Amino acid sequence: MRIGMNEWRPACSLAHLHLRAQMLHDIRGFFSERSVLEVETPLLCQGIGTDPQLEFFTADYFSPPLQQTLFLQTSPEFAMKRLLAAGSGSIYQICKAFRNGESGRFHNPEFTMLEWYRVGFKLPQLMDEVDELIGRLSKTHRSLNETQRFRYQDIFLSCTDLNPLEFSFGDYCAYALGNHMPEAVNICGQDHGLWLDFIFSHKVQPYLGENALCMVYDYPACQSSLARINEHNSQITDRVEIFLEGIELGNGYYELTDPEEQNRRFNKEISIRRERKLPTITKDSYLISALEAGLPECSGMAIGLDRLLMVLTGSNAIDDVLSFPLHRA
């Protein structure tokens, strides 16, 4: 293959390299001030998450007579929770994560993630800390307006006139057809969670966070992922996502600590993967054992740092802030 004259060069400017370095420095300073421990966990592991929305990379490990398939992690979450269960206290990590099939203006299959867990925090405290962190990181680049906070049900209802907590296939189909999205009917079928993802991404998300950090919290229970169900309302889950200029930047939970419930969710996701004929995987037994040993009450957040830097610098695409995106890697 013939390489273009300048394709050996980084895709981003040298100025963006310095801005990235400053962002990482500021993040480490932020957590050092709060006595949150920086940790490292493996990127190459024996297990992987069961989320049917995520595709993963595999690697063949060969050391005679052992041959084994390992997985590049889509998130450091499971290993970090094992540290929490072992008594690490509040921790954070800046690392690479990998998601197969994700590329485009906002995606690169290899990306940089910030993930942290605060022992003793419930979701409102975590949201306050996220607000403080983004406020500090944004000062170098732009002046943001006051942070917006919306309950998922309120913002979804105001944008669509649909109640996200009560699934009506007929109402959702009528909405899709009336808003020029007929493909949603076949894509989403009877899956409430898929319908919410589809409608939210097209009709709600683009309007969130105009020159302001926007937090959407109290997601419907069918989108609980690894968050616990709200103790006062079983229809919602203690989950938050953050947005800026209509772009999703991060996802956080008041973390599930019940091993039996986690096991049920793993089994359900594995069943969905089987129905969709996705690659077969097994649940992470290490995480289940850690939960059985006792995960402390905590909340956690994951933020894509490449995407955050892209938005804060007003860059057009994620490639503009990466030294070597996939096509130059």
What is the DSSP code (8-state) at residue 327?
A: G
Report how far residue 27's alpha carbon sits from residue 48's, in angstroms, rounded to the nearest whole number: 27
Q: Is residue 183 part of a domain?
A: no
Residue 43 lies in a domain: yes
Burial 292-323 (b: 16+ CB within 10 A, else e): eeebbebbbbbbbbbbbbbbbbebeebbbbbe
CATH assignment of the domain containing 89 = 3.30.930.10
Q: How far apart are alpha carbons 24 and 103 in whole angstroms? A: 23
Domain of residue 238: give its range.
Answer: 14-144+211-328
Name residues of the chain where pLDDT drops below 70. Answer: 1-5
Query: Could you tell me if residue 70 is inside a domain?
Result: yes
C-alpha–C-alpha distance, residues 313 and 142, integer Å: 8
Cβ proximity of 169 and 190 under 8 Å: yes
Burial of residue 286, with CB atoms counted within 10 A of its CB: 0-12 exposed, 13-18 middle, 19 or more buried: middle
pLDDT at 130: 98
Strand partners, 59: 70
pLDDT for position 76: 97
Matching residue, tokens 């063949």: 60
Burial status of residue 87 (CB atoms within 10 A of its CB: 0-12, 13-18, 19 or more): exposed
CA angle 261, 79, 46 (to 5 degrees): 95
The helix (H) or strand (E) run that includes residue 169 is helix 169-178
Cα–Cα–Cα angle for 122, 138, 35, rounded to 5 degrees = 45
Q: How far is CA 311 from CA 97, 166, 244, 317, in A?
A: 19, 34, 7, 9
Give me the sheet containing 236-244, strands edge to edge: 37-38, 91-98, 110-119, 298-304, 247-254, 236-244, 212-220, 145-151
Tell me whether residue 200 is in a domain.
Answer: no
Q: 81 lies in a domain? A: yes
pLDDT tens per residue, range 111-161: 999 999 999 999 999 999 999 999 999 998 889 999 999 999 999 999 999
Is residue 280 one of the residues assigned to a domain? yes
Give ∠ CA 24-99-264 in degrees, rounded to 5: 110
Number of domains in the chain: 1
Alpha carbons within 13 angstroms on the beta-carbon side of residue 4 total 7
With respect to residue 181, please indicate whether it lies within any of the assigned structural domains: no
Which pLDDT tens digit goes with each residue over 232-245?
Answer: 999 999 999 999 99
Instruction: For residue 159, tell me if it sits in a domain.
Output: no
